[in-house]
Amino acid sequence: MKPIFSTSFSWIVAALIAIAAWIAFTSETAAVIAIGTVFLAGIHQARVALDVSRLNASLEKSLASNNATSFPIFRRPLLAQLSRQCAAITEQHTRARDEIHSEHLQRQLFEQSMRDGLVVLDAHQRVLSANAAAARLLGFDTTTARGRLFQEISRIPEVNAMLEASYKDGQRRHGLLEPPTAPGSIVDAAIETLRDESMQAIGALLLIADVTSEQRLERMRSDFVANVSHELRTPITNIKGYVETIQQIGLSDEGQVNRFLEIVARNASRLGALVEDLLSISFLESSNSKERVTMASTPVNALIDWVDAELGPAAEARGVKLTRNIESDLQLHANALLIEQAIGNLVSNAIRYSPRGSSIEISARTSDASQKSSSNTIGEIGIGMAVITVTDQGPGIPEKHLPRLFERFYRVDSARSREDGGTGLGLAIVKHIAMVHGGSVRAESVIGQGSRFCLMIPLAHR
């Protein structure tokens, strides 16, 4: 800022020099009057300069600050009016700045809170703004993307091609793709160009929606329908075929007819078991299944008694021995029928794959006791859980199959499973029963040494 008195002082010095020259030709009285007049004019000029400087300082402070600034009050009408006008202008400026800041903040909050990715482009395909979701799905940094060509920050040829085509013809483009920057993800990219009155592109909006979950669910639904159709078709075809054969050969050959009827009965039982399992898993997967399941204190020994009574004969028929090792007075907070079904499915599965002369152990411990007594890791077990373990001496399961064992219709050996009458839903039902109770299930296996399935269920409150 210039010194306050610089202009006035220069003016006074120049006037005094002029007066000094004039004094030589005038009287002393006139000279004194002239000097006084010039001095008073200089003081007035200095005061005006000081007031203008104060007004200028207030104006600069107001423009630089986000807070309201008061302007000085002047007696001189012209400066007073100028001060009021400056105050009004700065107030409008502050209000407009606050509105712009508020709109910018709202837009940022809207963009960043969007679950989908959003990129705004200008007429030259430069990035005006992009939210965090778009950066994550397309693999770029939002802090460096602004002002750059979209093709510079995007390494996905499909999106770049869609953008070029949309800028050329103005048509909306969208498509499913798997971005290499987010392995395993499936996104739906949609591009909408904005055009002016002359149909020239002035910008574009790029929306990136993560549809991975939806696509997986759709794929699971399609697989489920295909699997159910296949599983139902086999017993139905067998039943129809043997019934038609009986109709053709008649009832004269009693031995042949009885053999065919046994096959029909076996397939009918398999069909019934499949329908029951489908109803069970449909109930367990429903959104309100937890609210519809009644929990109560349930003794584990009573559950194992039921499993022994139901599956003991089948184990004996295969030459397999069932043993138990249950911690005394162990109580579950559970639905007895569902836990019986879960343990029964695990034991039935073990019987199916156990060789003759082997044994299957059913054990139950609290989580603390199980972790202390177990030499192998069975995964994370929560506090206050009971661990029900079914261990067999079967051929074992290859490690690559373990992560998918509890999927619906997943079979390690599909041919053998169907021959043994399995529906392919038993372990999936066990998993969902555990989830309904707030528990979980794990599987371990070593080829040639057997398998172990651990069901974790909450303990009853004592």
- If asked whether residues 296 and 426 sit together in one domain, one would say yes
Angstrom distance (rounded) from CA 228 to CA 282 = 13
- The CATH number covering residue 333 comes to 3.30.565.10
Pairing of strands 440-446, 450-458: antiparallel
Of the pLDDT bands very low, low, confident and very high (cuts 50, 70, 90), residue 2 is: very low
The pLDDT, as a whole number, for residue 39 is 64
Query: Per the structure block, which two tokens stand in for 316?
Result: 């004996």
Q: Is the pLDDT of residue 416 over 60?
A: no
Contact 458, 435 (CB under 8 A): no
The pLDDT, as a whole number, for residue 389 is 95
- If asked whether residues 295 and 273 sit together in one domain, one would say no
- The CATH number covering residue 165 comes to 3.30.450.20
What are 176-198's pLDDT values in tens digits? Answer: 888 777 777 788 888 888 888 88
Output 267 or 58, whichever has higher pLDDT: 267
1: in domain? no
What are 270-296's pLDDT values in tens digits? Answer: 888 788 878 887 888 777 777 788 889
Instruction: Give mean pLDDT, residues 53-64.
Output: 70
- If asked whether residues 409 and 306 sit together in one domain, one would say yes
Most confident of 30-34, 68-72, 439-443: 439-443
The pLDDT, as a whole number, for residue 390 is 95
Query: Per the structure block, which two tokens stand in for 41?
Result: 């004019």
Last residue of a domain, one of 190, 210, 230: 210
32: in domain? yes
Last residue of a domain, one of 53, 71, 105: 105
Domain carrying residue 175: 114-210
Q: Is the pLDDT of residue 347 over 90?
A: yes
Contact 349, 362 (CB under 8 A): no
Q: In what order do the strands lie in the sheet with 187-195?
A: 127-130, 117-122, 201-210, 187-195, 173-177
- If asked whether residues 371 and 420 sit together in one domain, one would say yes
Q: What's at 209, amino acid-wise? A: A
The pLDDT, as a whole number, for residue 24 is 53
In DSSP terms, 453 is beta-bridged to 390, 443
What are 96-126's pLDDT values in tens digits? Answer: 666 656 665 555 555 455 567 888 888 888 8
- If asked whether residues 260 and 328 sit together in one domain, one would say no
- If asked whether residues 394 and 310 sit together in one domain, one would say yes
Contact 266, 242 (CB under 8 A): no
Radius of gyration of the chain (CA): 43
- If asked whether residues 346 and 444 sit together in one domain, one would say yes
Domain count, the chain: 4
- If asked whether residues 204 and 121 sit together in one domain, one would say yes
Last residue of a domain, one of 210, 242, 257: 210
- If asked whether residues 295 and 281 sit together in one domain, one would say no
- If asked whether residues 280 and 298 sit together in one domain, one would say no
158: in domain? yes
- If asked whether residues 26 and 100 sit together in one domain, one would say yes
- If asked whether residues 432 and 317 sit together in one domain, one would say yes
Q: Is the pTM of this model over 0.85?
A: no
